[in-house]
Structure 1
């Protein structure tokens, strides 16, 4: 008998509905709700083929948000991190190059230059 265990135990997600986690299931329900709303809202205005493509385009962002992970963050965690870094706490990073080697040996170089001047005089 073999029991499979995730290599990274923190990646474990419990399947609740249809093999989906609760988060994935909720976003899937939102996607279906958006598709149904688009269909019933636009079926009399445009043709069946057009409204079906609009349903797909309208529901796909919600479906993707339930499954996406970026750098270990869920979509809403990533969105919150982006808003914080770009709008709430923006920082202007400036690069000032420094020559660490020169800074460490500045005194020694100055002493050698003085000695060279004394020798030539």
Structure 2
């Protein structure tokens, strides 16, 4: 027997205050605090209508953060991911391969190219360095 359960059950959040989840309620209080702070800070400088729009625009991002989900991330997780991708990781990713085989044979390739053009092959004035081998000592 198969029991069907709706997929929306995963998205269930318990209402804590005024029909809002705890997260939504905290961000709503933060938005109210920002709006009140902007009101008292800017009241001597602007008129009532301009001031009301500034309070709305200042509080809107904080209010939205409590309700927004993007790709399964909450707003603060999204802001953190955006910050990492924009500022902490390099924009231009470059792959610079090292061809060890070509670098080793580069003098010989150049000699062959010079010979094909009828020029004298150019030799390295310095021979490659030989590694110093340690003398083997018998410890009997």
Task: Give the TM-score, by structure 1 length.
Answer: 0.65
Whose relative contact order is higher, 1 or 2, with alpha carbons under 8 Å and at least 6 apart? 1
Between structures 1 and 2, the one with greater helix share:
1
**Number of paired residues?**
90
Partner of 1:50: 50
What is the match of residue 13 of structure 1? 13
Q: How many angstroms does 1:6 deviate by?
A: 5.5
Deviation at 1:90, TM superposition (A): 4.2
* Partners of 1:14 and 1:6 in 2: CA distance: 17
The question of whether the paired residues in 2 share the 8 Å contact of 1:84 and 1:90 is answered with: no
1:1-121 counterparts in 2 under 5 A?
A: 7-90=7-90
RMSD, aligned CA? 1.9
SS in 1 for 2:66: helix
- How far apart are 1:49 and its partner, in Å? 0.9
Contact 1:31 1:60 in 2 (8 A): yes
Find the aligned partners of 2:21 and 2:6 in 1 and give their Cα distance: 16
Which residue matches 2:138? none
Report the TM-score, using the length of structure 2 for normalisation: 0.57
